[in-house]
Amino acid sequence: MGLSPLILKAVTDLKFEQPTPVQSKVIPVILNQKQDVVALAQTGTGKTAAFGLPLIQLIEPNNHSVQALILAPTRELCLQITDDLLSFAQYLDAVRIVPVYGGASIEVQIKALKNGAHIVVATPGRLIDLLNRRALHLSKVKYLVLDEADEMLNRGFAADIQTILEKLPKERRTFLFSATMPAEIAAITHKYMNEPLEITLGAKNTGAENVQHIYYVVHAKDKYLLLKRIIDFNPGLYGIVFCRTRKETQEIADKLMHDGYNADALHGELSQSQRDFVMNRFRLRQLDVLVATDVAARGLDVDDLTHVIHFSLPDDIEVYTHRSGRTGRAGKKGVSVSLIHLREKSRIKELERTLQKKFTMATPPTNREICEKQLFSLIDRIERVEVEHTDIEPYLPLILKKLSWIDREELIKRFVSIEFNRFLDYYKNAREIEHPVESPVLIQSKPKKKKENIVISSDGYVRLFINIGKSAGIYPNDIIAMVNSISTGKRIKIGKIQLFDNFSFFEVPYDIASEVCESLSQAVYEGKRLSVDYAEQKGRKKQK
């Protein structure tokens, strides 16, 4: 590929033998051509080395200005990239690499920059702080890397990125790396890049090839019980459970810890030191399960996750792609598991179409299946365990004498029971999880009389009442699905949705409000008969 002997020596020390596909395609272009590059590849495919190795070689050590700028969405990814670059440049003492990121002393970072930096790895917010303080100058930057560009946009850094790009020299080369290609990324490439060469590993906006996608349909009240069954049914599971909110994240983690699982929570309400502590424990596999929000888990880079579990489906398909792409990395197999309500089946179809992947519906494992799986996992571990004969030998006569009264079969039972009793006790009388039965949404009922006076908003919507809420496991998507189930034509636009414990409000266009009330009233949702009517809205002008 044209890499220097000292860089190749570092690569050899790191036990790299063959380049990954993204490295094979990107490194020669950066080294030998003058083009900008847009590389679309999933996380875990070796992107850091793809831009890091050639950048280190292109740096001019005698030029003490900042020559390369690498932007990353999170502190964690910033530090990870820096560690990798330092490893690649371990035999090039003159090359100086400095990370700058929020959550750490800016004075310390300013001092490091004053001591000289050829490559700066930065988060957007901290970089702008340094620019405003005139502690960093970008006028000599020749190379810009936008790593995980789609995640930077998802985190709301679009304006910051544009500010930074406008301060950079026009003559620079830009290398953009992203797992997906949303419209915002395309806009950046058109505005700020010079006829970039696009390198795509797999189809745009698709999931990783090594990931199996499965889903379970479950009642809201059984979600946590199903999560435990999935963990128990997969001995050796090492994964992330994604939740929607910080509250839900902490609640699920607390329940898992209370029930004896090696789990912990990662969310935005934790301090940076707490987040670092949890992340480090997870990387060291002191935790089997990390329960996290999407934002908190960004920048957490672990190659050998076996499972990603979506306790709640994300609203954005690109977020699902990022979540599921955290497993099945570096050539390994992975599983992406979604726990959904009946009304979310249409979301699965949408994911299948967009990701061009087949999703398999699974049935919850039974008590017997879980116990068998755990039992044989234990037996496999016993078969593979290494015995230090020299350490055990002196104690063997005493052990044999102590156990001599127990016959072989009884001894095996007792030995296995030490580890296995917990599962037997729990699943002996545990209730099996039922697959929800799809209830018909439409049931013929007497049409309601159209109200003479209703409130119509300025944009043509009316507010309706429905007699189910959060306690029934309802999400906004469920309301949307119910309303659209009455339509045989195009998708119905829904306005504001407000969920309360036992009821909800939602807005629909005035011209279909009567039809929605008539069609959904007396329908059944998970065993509850629905009632839908115009909402009373006091203090607002009524129109005929």
Query: For residue 468, what is the domain's CATH number?
Result: 3.30.70.330
CA 11 from centre of chain: 30
Report the pLDDT averaged over residues 142-152: 89
What would the mean pLDDT of 538-544 be, rounded to a whole number?
A: 45
- The enclosing domain of 44 has a CATH number of 3.40.50.300
User: Is the predicted pLDDT of residue 543 greater than 70, yes or no?
Assistant: no
The pLDDT of residue 443 is above 80: no
Contact 4, 95 (CB under 8 A): no
Q: Which two tokens stand for residue 271?
A: 């301090």
DSSP string computed for 79-100: HHHHHHHHHHTTT-TT--EEEE
Same domain, 176 and 302: no
Q: Is the pLDDT of residue 540 over 60?
A: no
pLDDT, mean of residues 112-132: 94
**Residue ranges making up the domain that contains 528:** 439-544
299 pLDDT band, cuts 50/70/90, is low
Better pLDDT: 68 or 178: 68
Check whether residue 16 and residue 147 sit in a common domain: yes
Same domain, 420 and 519: no
Q: Is the pLDDT of residue 343 over 60?
A: yes
Judged against a pLDDT cut of 60, whether residue 441 lies above it is answered with no
Domains identified in the chain, total number: 4
Inside any domain, residue 233: yes
Residue 434 domain-assigned?
A: no
- Between CA 409 and CA 417, with CA 412 as vertex, the angle to 5 degrees is 125
Q: Is the pLDDT of residue 203 over 60?
A: no
502-514 per-position pLDDT tens digit? 899 999 988 888 8
Do 344 and 472 lie in one domain? The reply is no
- Grade residue 432 by pLDDT with cuts at 50, 70 and 90: confident
Mean pLDDT for 66-83 is: 90
Determine the distance from the C-alpha atom of residue 129 to the mean position of all C-alpha atoms in its chain, rounded to a whole number.
28
pTM higher than 0.75 for the full model? no
Residue linked to tokens 């990370």: 99
Share of the chain above pLDDT 90, in %: 36
Quick check: is 33 in a domain?
yes
Question: pLDDT band for position 202 (50/70/90)?
Answer: low
- Is 295 part of a structural domain of the chain? yes
Answer whether residue 542 shows pLDDT above 50.
no
Q: Are residues 299 and 389 in the same domain?
A: no
Q: Are residues 216 and 304 in the same domain?
A: yes
Quick check: is 383 in a domain? yes
Q: Report the alpha-carbon distance of residue 175 to residue 1 in Å, rounded.
A: 18
What integer pLDDT is reported at residue 321 of this predicted model?
Answer: 82
Write down the pLDDT at residue 244. Answer: 85
pLDDT digits (tens, 9 = 90+) for 211-245: 899 999 988 888 999 999 999 999 989 999 999 88
Residue 290 has pLDDT above 70, yes or no: yes
Instruction: Tally Cβ neighbours within 10 Å of residue 517.
Output: 22
Give the pLDDT score at 62.
Answer: 92
Q: Is pLDDT above 80 for 485?
A: no
Low-confidence winner among 66-70, 172-176, 531-535 (lowest mean pLDDT): 531-535
Query: Which of 142, 171, 200 is the endpoint of a domain?
Result: 200
Residues 37 and 177 grouped into a single domain? yes
Q: Would 167 be classed as within a structural domain?
A: yes
Residues 424 and 527 in one domain: no
Over residues 395-411, mean pLDDT = 87
What mean pLDDT value characterizes the chain? 84
Over 50: is that where the pLDDT of 541 sits? no
Given 173, 200, 227, the domain boundary residue is 200
Q: Per the domain annotation, does 419 fall within a domain?
A: yes
Identify which has the larger pLDDT, 62 or 180: 62
Rg (CA), the chain: 28
Residue 473 β-bridge partners = none
Tell me how far CA of residue 4 lies from CA of 68, 195, 342, 525, in angstroms: 19, 28, 57, 66
Q: For the ranges 99-108, 176-185, 352-361, which has the lowest average pLDDT?
A: 176-185
Split at pLDDT 50, 70, 90, the class of 142 is very high
The answer to whether the beta carbons of residues 3 and 27 sit under 8 Å apart is yes
Asked if residue 474 lies in contact with residue 468, where contact means CB atoms within 8 angstroms, the answer is yes
* Boundary-marking domain end, from 200, 223, 254: 200
- Give residue-wise pLDDT tens across range 358-372: 899 999 999 888 888
pLDDT for the residue numbered 286: 92
In a domain, 205, yes or no: no
Provide the pairing of β-strand 524-525 with 528-529. Answer: antiparallel
122 and 78 both lie in a single domain:
yes
357 and 372 assigned to the same domain: no
Residues 375 and 290 in one domain: no
H-run or E-run covering 372: helix 367-384
Same domain, residue pair 189 and 281: no
Give the per-residue pLDDT at 514: 85
Bridge partners, residue 121, by sequence? 70, 99
